[in-house]
Amino acid sequence: MERRNIKAEKYEKAMDRVKTERKFYLAIVRLFIFSILLFFLNDSILQLFIDRGLDNEHIVYWVNWSLWCTPVIIAIILFIKGIWLFGFKNKSPRKWEERRIKKIMREEDSFKKLD
C-alpha cells in the first residue's frame, strides 16, 4: 500500500513538472508570435498615434520605445524562469531537505540492522 502511495506521489510530481514545462514552452511560443506581430505592426501602431493628433516627437519616440521594450522585458522574465525551471530544479531548498531526510533515514536504518 505504501509503495502505491509513493508511486502516486511521484506521478503527481511528474505531472506537475510536465504542466509547468508546458506552460513555459507555450509562453515562449506566445512571445515569439507577439514579437513577430509587433515587428510587422509597429509602423501601423505608430501611425495610429500620429493620426489621432499625437504627433509630438517625444510621444512617438516613447510609444516606439515601449513597443520594443515589452517583448524584451517578457523575454528576460522568461529567461529567468527558464533558468529557475531547468537550471535549479534539484537545488531548491525543499528538494535539499527531502534528500537530507532520506539520507538520515537510510543511515538510521543501517545502524538498526547492525544492532
Specify whether the CB–CB gap between 74 and 38 falls below 8 A.
no
Q: Name the nearest CA neighbour of 35 among 10, 73, 68, 9.
A: 68
Give pLDDT tens digits for 38-59.
888 888 888 887 888 777 788 7
Q: What is the pLDDT of residue 104?
A: 80
User: pLDDT at position 33, please?
Assistant: 94
What is the percentage of the chain residues whose pLDDT exceeds 70?
87
**How many domains, the chain?**
1
Residue identified by cell 533558468 is 83
The whole domain housing 28 covers: 2-89
* pLDDT tens column, 67-84: 888 889 999 999 998 888
Q: Stretch 12-41: mean pLDDT, rounded?
A: 89
Instruction: Determine the average pLDDT of the residues in 23-34.
Output: 92
**CA neighbours closer than 13 Å in the CB half-sphere of residue 6:** 3
pTM of the model as a whole: 0.62
Residue 94: inside a domain: no
Residue 108 lies in a domain: no
Q: Mean of the pLDDT values across residues 86-108? A: 73
pLDDT of residue 92: 63
Task: Tell whether 95 is covered by a domain.
Answer: no
Helix axes 57-82, 2-51, angle to 10 degrees: 170
